[in-house]
Amino acid sequence: MQQEVSCQKKITKNDNEVTIPNVLEKKSSQHDKFWCVPLPKGKNYKRFLDFQNDVSVSDVEIALKEGYRSIEHVKRYTTLGMATDQGKTSNLNGLQLVSDIENKVVPNVGHTTFRPPYTPVSIGAIVGREIGKHSKPTRKSPMHAWHEKNNAVFVDAGVWLRPRYYKQGNENLFEGSKREAKNVRSNVGVCDVTTLGKIDIKGPDAAELLNRVYTNAWLKLPVGKARYGVMLREDGIVMDDGTTTRISENHYHMTTTTAQAANVLSHLEYYLQLVWPELNVNVVSTTEQWAGAAIAGPKSRDLLQKLFPNSDVSNEGLPFMGYMEGDLFGVKARIFRISFSGELAYEVNVESDNGIFMWEKIMEIGEELKIQPYGTEALSTLRIEMGHVAGSELDGRTIPYDNALEGLASKKKDFIGKRSLQRAAFIAEDRHRLVGVVPLDKKTSIPEGSHLVKDDKAALPNPKLGHISASCWSVEYDNPFSLAILKDGKNMIGQKLFAMSPLKNKVIPVEIVSSHYVDPKGERVRS
């Protein structure tokens, strides 16, 4: 037999005693809704509806007594559903209580605005770092198993695992990465670049979209050519850089840095949906669709010709920043002649299912050319030597001028962030700029993050002129080399300064040089 428990209560309204309609709860079945806690006989305890804001049944009754009938007004009078759950745990009870007091069905009472998260959030996501890497999936390239078998030491790159170096014998990180970088400079190396963000852009207005989001011109890029571009935020700060290739008349392949892939896609979607809805363009992430291998070094063309014997990969057939499609022993491949290492280099993309096939073929055919795989540490060394900027320079605080990229900022067309580049601080004559730094003794490595100062004996606080953004051991000259963002850097080349690292307790006399430490004219990539 069912037991009915009354949640009836009397209140005074306009000096008259009014009985609120019965609020009945049935305590027989576990499937019955249980929203009003029954009171023990003779007791008048508070019964809470919202456990985060301590809203009780009596609070809602008083709100209605005061004349608040709209559920939005009841919410604001009582703070019902205004906590972090945004009403997802409390409003169901609150709506039912108001509906019974008002003698209406819940849909007629209405509901307050639900705000994100619209779907439940797992406890694992809330506790985050307390559960380590279980808070989000670890992403691996199609060649990950090969890397594991060949003694790769991995490093986290966002949510990706990337080989940092391939250990041989008792090598440490410094020895292994130095060997790999040196082999790229002298022979040929291959690097897994699958993790780079890839965005497929299609539509008759695709060129116009690129022309607006990049600082340089894109309307006249020929089919079969790639171009380097820089993307700014609205405040003029560099957001990301990368190459975009024109596959066909209305089809482009954009690459982004590993860390900014999701942000760039979101950036493009935002502008297409809200700012420029008139543009007929579709963008979609293809990061996981393509497996990528960067082949770099003076022997890279010889290797590429063996991989694609039916394609003309000569300097005339595939010039610098060129693109072609080829047949990799029955597998369709995209070939880009682009370089992050500063050497003659190519990037080969195949569909991810064929990634391990591509990689093993590269290693097999490249054996006679003394090929070696190289990881992110060697890749960093190669790019620092060439003065190529990356995440440590594009750190959310720099504009194109700071990174020696002002030549890419068009003076003729408009682009996102252009107006902000005219702010007083951004056009100051002594603005910080990218430079190279070499220790005077040619032996002491400069810790990243070190401050650059004129006088190492000056009283604290010692005026900071700049900071070391990235350091490596130059395999070209066999000495330490660093990149730095330095005040008035354009006029500081040749000056002697001090690099101070309080964390490492080091003071290193240094000389400021060009950021293009190796092949400053860029002859190798065009050879």
pLDDT digits (tens, 9 = 90+) for 346-367: 999 999 999 999 999 999 999 9
Per-residue pLDDT at 515: 95
Least confident of 48-57, 116-125, 231-240: 116-125
Per-residue pLDDT at 51: 79
Per-residue pLDDT at 39: 80
Best mean pLDDT range from 41-55, 93-107, 508-522: 508-522
With cut-offs at 50, 70 and 90, classify the pLDDT of residue 120: low
Least confident of 13-27, 78-92, 281-295: 13-27
The whole-number average pLDDT for the span 221-230 is: 96
Question: DSSP 3-state assignment of 116?
Answer: coil
Q: Mean of the per-residue pLDDT values for the chain? A: 89
Pairwise pLDDT comparison (92 vs 188), residue with the higher score? 188
Per-residue pLDDT at 25: 39
The whole-number average pLDDT for the span 464-483 is: 96
Has residue 30 got a pLDDT over 80? Answer: no
State the DSSP string of 291-339.
EEEEEESTTHHHHHHHH-TTS--STTTS-TTBEEEEEETTEEEEEE---
Per-residue pLDDT at 70: 87
Per-residue pLDDT at 511: 97
Has residue 44 got a pLDDT over 70? Answer: yes
The whole-number average pLDDT for the span 390-418 is: 94
Has residue 484 got a pLDDT over 60? Answer: yes
Per-residue pLDDT at 84: 78
Percent pLDDT > 70 in the chain is 90
With cut-offs at 50, 70 and 90, classify the pLDDT of residue 5: very low
All domains of the chain in start order, with CATH = 4-109 (1.10.10.1100), 149-195+287-396 (3.30.1360.120), 201-248+260-282+407-422 (3.30.70.1400), 428-517 (2.40.30.110)
Percent pLDDT > 90 in the chain is 71
Per-residue pLDDT at 353: 97
Per-residue pLDDT at 135: 66
Has residue 22 got a pLDDT over 50? Answer: no
Per-residue pLDDT at 333: 97
Could you tell me where the beta strands, DSSP code E, fall in 120-222? 152-157, 160-166, 189-192, 197-202
Per-residue pLDDT at 270: 96
Best mean pLDDT range from 40-44, 88-92, 355-359: 355-359
Least confident of 157-161, 278-282, 309-313, 464-468: 157-161
The whole-number average pLDDT for the span 125-140 is: 72
With cut-offs at 50, 70 and 90, classify the pLDDT of residue 86: confident
Other beta carbons within 10 angstroms of residue 58's beta carbon come to 16
- The owner of tokens 């400069």 is 446
Per-residue pLDDT tens digits for 409-462: 999 999 999 999 999 999 998 999 999 999 999 999 999 999 999 998 888 888
Per-residue pLDDT tens digits for 365-378: 999 999 999 999 99
The whole-number average pLDDT for the span 505-512 is: 95
Could you tell me where the beta strands, DSSP code E, fall in 32-187? 48-50, 55-56, 152-157, 160-166
Per-residue pLDDT at 95: 85
What are all long-range contacts of 178-183, with beta carbons under 8 Å and residues at least 24 apart?
Answer: 178/378, 178/381, 178/473, 178/475, 179/372, 180/372, 180/373, 180/374, 180/375, 180/377, 180/378, 181/374, 181/378, 181/381, 181/382, 181/475, 182/475, 183/297, 183/370, 183/372, 183/374
